Amino acid sequence: MKTRSNDGPPRSRPAVLEDVAALAGVSAMTVSRALNAPERVHTETRARVLAAVQELDYRPNAAARQLATGRSGVLGVVSIDTTLYGPASTLYSIERAARLNDYSVSIASLSMLNRRSIDESLRQLQSQSVDGVIIVAPHESAADGLRHLSSKIPVVAVDAGVGLSVPVVMVDQRAGAARATRHLLSLGHETVWHVAGPDNWIDANARVEGWREVLEAGGHRVPDVVRGDWSSRSGYQLGHRLARDPEVTAVFVSNDQMALGVLRALREVGRRVPEDVSVVGFDDVPESAYFWPPLTTVRQDFEEVGGHAFHLLLDQMAGRPSQTRRLVEPELIVRESTGAAPG
């Protein structure tokens, strides 16, 4: 690969630390500090160093880095093995935050997150000399495992609920559900039905709580919750059930995939959206703006989640005090699937 310095033409060899220093206009020691101890380097200087690293496609020598810092430059991530949009986006955001800060990631994808599988994954990752571990724990069983965690390396959890001994980063699911519910009530709907996710998912239960709290606080009737499995198919099946009830005029659905199924079911039964029934989803998947009609939904900032999780882990690794719980605020995205209650 070709690299260059400030005083010479491109040359075909991997970039070394001195090349980055020359391009950034700093010393080699400053480059090392910017990559290995960023808190000791001015923000503008670190930005120049990172720009030079990217331009030269510089790859730090892992063995040298570990000798210099006592760190491997590798983080472990334990996550459930799933293609669901939320967990997959969370995992990607963590990988991206690590990569932007010159860390690589070793991933342990599990079919089930519980106390035993989490402990086994931590032992495996520790044997790989990872510097710390982020555990994406959306299941109730995973949260229970984290409450009994015994780890010799720094750990941060994502989407893991409350009452844990490790720092937690999560989207404020209750606030997102509350915003969706208030939006529908503000359009004149007397109440809001809810298609929830599985009852063993922390996020699904938090969204139920946010929806119910708003209805109860306003004195509105609280319909029975119907639960799907996150899939469009389950949303379609439950949507047919709701579509045949003429009292249903507003539905808050716990993710966009199930909302897609609800929209199709309503259309097949002849219930117009939003003229007869308003629908709100959750997640703001990239396709939601192209549903018909375009879906009003709650957007989760997964990039912010990943960034907070990574920096909380850095604090743990450095022995610095940090927050024990970080909530990321969701955003309501209003599109054409919601409208005034039918008169």
Mean pLDDT, all residues of the chain: 87
**What pLDDT, on a 0 to 100 scale, did the predictor assign at position 172?**
96
**What pLDDT, on a 0 to 100 scale, did the predictor assign at position 37?**
63
**What pLDDT, on a 0 to 100 scale, did the predictor assign at position 319?**
83
pLDDT bin (cut points 50, 70, 90) of residue 240 is very high
Count of H-run helices and E-run strands, the chain: 12, 14
What would the mean pLDDT of 22-30 be, rounded to a whole number? Answer: 87
What would the mean pLDDT of 280-303 be, rounded to a whole number? Answer: 96
- More confident call, 240 vs 318: 240
d(Cα 209, Cα 232) in Å, to the nearest integer?
A: 22
**What pLDDT, on a 0 to 100 scale, did the predictor assign at position 199?**
94
**What pLDDT, on a 0 to 100 scale, did the predictor assign at position 17?**
77
| pTM, to two decimals | 0.78
Residue 161 contacts residue 202 (beta carbons within 8 Å): yes
Indicate if the pLDDT at residue 248 is higher than 50: yes
**What pLDDT, on a 0 to 100 scale, did the predictor assign at position 123?**
86
Amino acid at 197: G
Range among 60-74, 109-123, 246-260 rated most confident: 246-260
For the chain, how big is the Rg over CA atoms in Å?
24
Say if residue 293 is preceded by a cis peptide, omega within 30 of 0.
yes
Over the stretch 173-200, which tens digit does the pLDDT of each residue have? 999 999 999 999 999 999 999 999 999 9
pLDDT bin (cut points 50, 70, 90) of residue 28 is confident
pLDDT bin (cut points 50, 70, 90) of residue 63 is very low
**What pLDDT, on a 0 to 100 scale, did the predictor assign at position 36?**
65
What would the mean pLDDT of 158-164 be, rounded to a whole number? Answer: 79
Reduced 3-state DSSP string for 225-278: CEECCCCHHHHHHHHHHHHCCCCCCEEEECCHHHHHHHHHHHHHHCCCCCCCCE
**What pLDDT, on a 0 to 100 scale, did the predictor assign at position 145?**
74
What would the mean pLDDT of 244-252 be, rounded to a whole number? Answer: 97
